[in-house]
């Protein structure tokens, strides 16, 4: 019995030390528990435009929502916790009103006569004690309402999506609040086509550089860079051709093209090979 007691007393300081050492590590671990209003996100591509919405989703829990938990005639964060945020990847219209690409806080103004949805630039509102400020409003749009089957948690949905538009629905309790969103997909697609056409020379130039520098296939590289130059004669693909010709032993042609590339690059604020081309010109002209 004495031996057991002695052993226990001897081990006790070590045990307490171990607990003390483990306590800070335990305290630093985040305690994850279910949130009363969990974070949620919904996204939709409309044509070539991405639209997404981030919010916190409270539960009804048997409470009277409209006119009570969410009072009439007062701005509401259209969710819980931090501001509800909506992001437009390209310019669009929200409730028939133009809105620039970007992220906005979505605010609701519920009344018994109708609902208004507001886009506001202050994404930090309702963080701490920071209130809503109407001076940061971008637009206000009338929303449609209709009765629905009971929905326990506040939920956002995109519905009736086409190539040119979608509908944003807020559903909670027995009410749906909706607003139309539209995009000029034809204009966006045309702009994408123009941008792709304008830069079509770049993949060919990159392929030519790879064949020349890595695969050591100068004839194949020359064929590709010539196709690139037919699309647009930029300083970069001109310089790539100059390098290919230099590797093929055609130094006079290479020097002429390097000079052309340098002259074109001098007009470009993003002339990142200026020193390289300038150095090559000095060396090639000496030979």
* Residue environment code for 19-40, b if the CB has 16+ CB neighbours within 10 A, otherwise e: eeeeeeeeeeeeeeeeeeeeeb
Between CA 154 and CA 159, with CA 157 as vertex, the angle to 5 degrees is 150
Contact 111, 72 (CB under 8 A): yes
Q: Which stretches of the chain score pLDDT less than 50?
A: 1-3, 5-6, 8-9, 12, 16, 19, 26
Rounded to two decimals, the pTM is: 0.75
Contact 171, 154 (CB under 8 A): yes
Instruction: Render pLDDT for 104-156 as a digit per residue (tens, 0 to 9).
Output: 999 999 999 999 999 999 999 988 778 999 999 999 999 999 999 999 999 99
The CATH number corresponding to 199-286 among 1.20.120, 1.25.40, 1.10.8, 1.10.10 equals 1.25.40
CA distances from 42 to 51, 87, 179, 243 (A): 9, 11, 15, 50
* Sequence spans of domains, the chain: 39-182, 199-286
Angle between helix 251-265 and helix 235-247 axes, rounded to 10 deg: 160
Q: How far is C-alpha 73 from the geometric centre of its chain's CA atoms?
A: 34
Instruction: Render pLDDT for 61-70 as a digit per residue (tens, 0 to 9).
Output: 999 999 999 9
| Sheet of 102-110, strand order | 39-46, 49-56, 84-88, 102-110, 115-120, 137-159, 165-182, 92-94, 97-99
Segment (H or E) for 177: strand 165-182
Confidence at residue 127, expressed as pLDDT on a 0 to 100 scale: 84
């Amino acid at each position: 019995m004495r031996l057991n007691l002695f052993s226990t007393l001897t081990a006790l300081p070590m045990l307490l030390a171990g607990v003390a050492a483990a306590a800070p590590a335990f305290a630093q671990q985040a305690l994850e528990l279910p949130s009363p209003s969990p974070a949620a996100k919904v996204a939709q591509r409309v044509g070539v435009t991405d639209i997404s919405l981030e919010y916190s989703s409270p539960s009804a829990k048997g409470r009277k929502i409209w006119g009570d938990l969410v009072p009439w005639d007062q701005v509401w964060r259209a969710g819980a916790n931090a501001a509800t945020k909506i992001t437009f990847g390209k310019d669009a219209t929200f409730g028939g009103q133009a809105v620039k690409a970007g992220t906005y806080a979505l605010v609701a103004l519920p009344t018994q006569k109708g609902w208004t949805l507001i886009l506001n630039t202050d994404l930090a509102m309702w963080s701490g004690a920071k209130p809503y400020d109407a001076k940061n409003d971008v637009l206000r749009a009338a929303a449609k309402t209709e009765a629905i089957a009971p929905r326990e948690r506040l939920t956002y949905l995109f519905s009736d999506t086409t190539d040119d538009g979608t509908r944003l629905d807020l559903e909670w309790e027995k009410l749906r609040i909706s607003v139309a969103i539209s995009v000029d997909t034809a204009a966006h697609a045309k702009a994408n086509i123009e941008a792709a056409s304008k830069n079509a020379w770049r993949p060919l130039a990159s392929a030519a550089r790879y064949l020349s520098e890595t695969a050591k296939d100068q004839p194949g590289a020359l064929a590709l860079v010539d196709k690139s130059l037919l699309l647009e004669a930029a300083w970069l693909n001109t310089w790539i051709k100059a390098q290919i010709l230099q590797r093929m032993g055609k130094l006079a042609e290479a020097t002429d093209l390097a000079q052309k590339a340098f002259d074109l690059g001098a007009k470009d604020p993003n002339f990142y090979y200026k020193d390289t081309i300038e150095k090559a010109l000095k060396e090639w002209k000496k030979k």
